[in-house]
Amino acid sequence: MIFIFIVVLMAAGIFSGCSTKESSLRQESESQQLKQDGRENGTADKETDTRKETETESETVAVPERLSPGTNEVLQVPSKPEGDKKADSASAPDGNKDNQKIVYLTFDDGPCSTTPKLLDVLDKYQVKATFFVTAQFMSEDDLVEQIKNISDRGHRVAVHSYSHDYKQIYSSVDAFMADYNKMDQLIQKATGTPSKIFRFPGGSNTGYNEAIRTDLIRRVKDEGLIYYDWNAYDGDCDGYKGDDLIKRAVKESTYTKRSILLMHNIPGKDTVIESLPEIIRQLKEAGYSFELIDENTDPIQFAKG
């Protein structure tokens, strides 16, 4: 019965996955995050406490409303993302931030061979984005060069992970910080400045960090770091493409006046780049502007520690 239930849920689009070269050889997760069902305006459904679980070879597959892509881990979505509202007014040009409609485009997992093409699209439409980067797809020399290119073209570069190996980086707080610092050193080499902002692989409440989550969040805060989750997702790791991807990205970004949109920049995901011009056009038509995430941006955070 559990197997049938899982199949039905998958057919309904409740599961999500994105393939990568993760060392665990499961579904190889390229994308770490699954779009949360919650909305910043408080209309989110509360996470259900009822979960059906079934054992796989070495992992427990939970069957709640959603799983984190490619990880078989439950995405613990809060009823409402928390954040410090001070940034809503701090970064407003005329103090009317509450009346502005803003989308923060974010691209995870790159850079990779398609990054220059993505940058060309952003340049063409005069839009800036935030890149949460890894070292998965390039040698360190090429990586530094590409990070510098991203930064020189006016975009924000921030840490995602050096290895993108969930089990390794979440094995301990020290392991996470070692991975973070290794990536941050490459960013500093390319840009001359440390990241200070980052995105947890899998989101701040991934099942992989559950055992260390409280201590980990305390540690990153003690280090003066700010982490950013998301409240909109284009579905690129759920197999969305073309018009479906565009519709989802626009719909989820326009639920609220302020959206952090999760997308991915990885090999084989040209559909994101191909869809981006229309996403930008429709969001601009809906009255949205595009901004970079920085230290003053009000964070969306699934877990607060």
Backbone torsions φ then ψ of 95, nearest 5 degrees: 80, 5
In a domain, 24, yes or no: no
In a domain, 40, yes or no: no
Determine the longest span between alpha carbons in the chain, in angstroms.
58
Return the DSSP state at 37. Answer: S
Backbone torsions φ then ψ of 10, nearest 5 degrees: -65, -40
Walk along the chain (305 residues) and give the pLDDT tens digit of each residue: 444 443 333 333 323 335 433 333 223 333 333 333 333 333 333 333 322 222 222 232 222 233 344 343 434 333 334 443 333 322 333 345 668 999 999 999 999 999 999 999 999 999 999 999 999 999 999 999 999 999 999 999 999 999 999 999 999 999 999 999 999 999 999 999 999 999 999 999 999 999 999 999 999 999 999 999 999 999 999 999 999 999 999 999 999 999 999 999 999 879 999 999 999 999 999 999 999 999 999 999 999 96
In a domain, 297, yes or no: no
- Is 155 catalytic? The answer is no
**Beta strand pairing status for 60-63 and 67-68?**
unpaired
Q: Into how many domains does the chain fold?
A: 1
What is the model's pLDDT at position 97? 63
Residue of 179, 224, 227 whose CA lies nearest to 81: 227
Length in residues, the chain:
305
Give the active site residue among 108, 184, 229, 234: 108
In a domain, 99, yes or no: yes
In a domain, 196, yes or no: yes
What is the model's pLDDT at position 66? 36
DSSP states of 69-100 as a string?
A: TTTTEE----SS-B--THHHHHT-SSS-GGG-
Residue tagged 């392991």 (tokens):
175
In a domain, 244, yes or no: yes
What gap in Å lies between CA 113 and CA 267, rounded to an integer? 7
Q: Which residues pair with 261 in a beta bridge?
A: 105, 232
Token reading at 190 = 């390319």
Return the DSSP state at 301. Answer: B
**Beta strand pairing status for 60-63 and 258-264?**
unpaired
Give the active site residue among 236, 238, 264, 298: 264
Token reading at 136 = 């998965």
In a domain, 257, yes or no: yes
What gap in Å lies between CA 134 and CA 183, rounded to an integer? 7
Domain that holds residue 162: 86-290
Can you give the CATH number for the domain in which 252 is found?
3.20.20.370
In a domain, 17, yes or no: no
The gap between the terminal CA atoms of the chain, to the nearest Å, is 36
Q: Which residues pair with 82 in a beta bridge?
A: 301
- Is 45 catalytic? The answer is no
The number of beta carbons lying within 10 Å of the beta carbon of residue 223 is 11
